[in-house]
Amino acid sequence: MLEEPSLLILLIILVFLLILSGFFSGSETGMMASNKVKLKNLSKKGNKGAARALELLQRPDKLLSAILVGNNFANILASSIVTIIMLNYFGGNVLLGAVLLTTFILIFSEITPKTMAAVKPESFARRSSILLKPLLYLLRPIIVITNFISSKVLKIFDISVKDAKDNDSLNTQELKTLLDESGDLIPKQYRGMLSSILGMEELVVEDIMTPTSEIIGIDADLGYEENKKIIESSEYTRLPVYRKSIDKELGTLHLKDSHTFLEKIESGQDISCALSKTYFVSQSTALMKQLKEFQDNDKNMALVVDEYGEIEGLITIEDIFKEIAGKFGSDKIELEKEFTKLKDGSVLTDGNSKIRDLNNYLDWSISEENSKTINGLITKYLDQIPQANLCIEIKQYRFEILKIEDNSIARIKIKKINSKN
């Protein structure tokens, strides 16, 4: 007859199995919780452990099968060892053994290693990959069988293992969340710029264009002196040229051609030779697409038209770059000039101010759904041209119209009010 193993040997085997079970439990958490971006970065720096972990994560189904087979093997074998110990050395009290084993597994083989791996998943993944990689080859026959069966079950729920590869990419909202949670890892000014770039996906040309009422251009019907003053005082390198109104545009003048243009104006000759053809864009064009079109067509400025071909505004490539730069530098100074803060928390501005700029400057959330400007918002809300000395409330904002000029709001006071319970 075979001699029964000593209690010491059985206990040594049991401890080894509990450690093995803990290794598999921690490996599962470490591998699945690892940040692939961090692992890829470490791999590029020559970290072999990170490279191994990434290789294993290419097929999470095989990796999980190997881990679970190993973990279950260790736990079942440990249960058998405990049964032998209780039958031979503790009067056959198997129930007590089951309670003790479950307690030890929970504490030392599940909670502790999983917590360690959750705190430093990449570190745990790199180290555990040393044993997991050869284990995949060792358990290949079992993994093939279990994966075949599990894939058939997953097919019932319309789940494919290949879908796991698509989970590596992040959508815009997830990137924004990641950016918000970056803390001091990314300097504040860069976070603002990155946030602006991500936010551009939702913007169209209409959101940032200069409306027709604010376009600085040249009226060809004006005389030499008037146009000369406009050109000399212009801060732009390109100006739209029109007759009487922007709707009757003639072309675009580059300031390098202004001498020729003024000579033609003074002599009453045809000015078309000094102008370039106007570039038109739709107000509904996505901002990122428009930036690419500016670059592809080697253009810097365009007139914006609506669905009926009516000119609604003007946009330049600098406007898009300002949107990317966000609320910093000179742009912030311009907003401070446009919006005057008062001690009571309200702000003074004019009706042509963009709601988007106001929201960004004060971190408000006035709806832009029906209008892009304050004047448009009030007009649509009242369904008529607003009058002075009128105070209205739209959701949680109070608008007090102070001055009207040319049927448009020239001065308005806006204050955020506490929402009613």
Blockwise average pLDDT, block size 10, the chain, 421 residues: 73 94 93 88 90 89 89 93 89 88 93 93 92 89 85 79 58 69 69 72 86 88 89 89 91 92 88 92 92 92 93 92 64 77 91 86 84 88 86 92 88 82 40
Query: What domains are there in the chain, each with its CATH number?
Result: 7-166 (no CATH), 201-325 (3.10.580.10), 329-416 (3.30.465.10)
What per-residue confidence (pLDDT) applies to 419? 54
What per-residue confidence (pLDDT) applies to 326? 59
What per-residue confidence (pLDDT) applies to 329? 47
Nearest to 52 by CA among 156, 153, 130, 147: 130
Global pTM? 0.56
What per-residue confidence (pLDDT) applies to 112? 94
Is 348:342 a contact under the CB 8 Å cutoff?
yes
SS (H, E, C) 4-64: CCCHHHHHHHHHHHHHHHHHHHHHHHHHHHCCHHHHHHHHHCCCHHHHHHHHHHCCHHHHH
**pLDDT 10s digits, 325-357:** 754 444 666 777 889 999 888 999 998 888 888
How far apart are the C-alpha atoms of 301 and 36, rounded to whole Å?
42
What per-residue confidence (pLDDT) applies to 127? 93
**Looking at the chain, how many residues does it have?**
421
Is 394:381 a contact under the CB 8 Å cutoff?
yes
The owner of tokens 């860069």 is 190
What per-residue confidence (pLDDT) applies to 176? 67
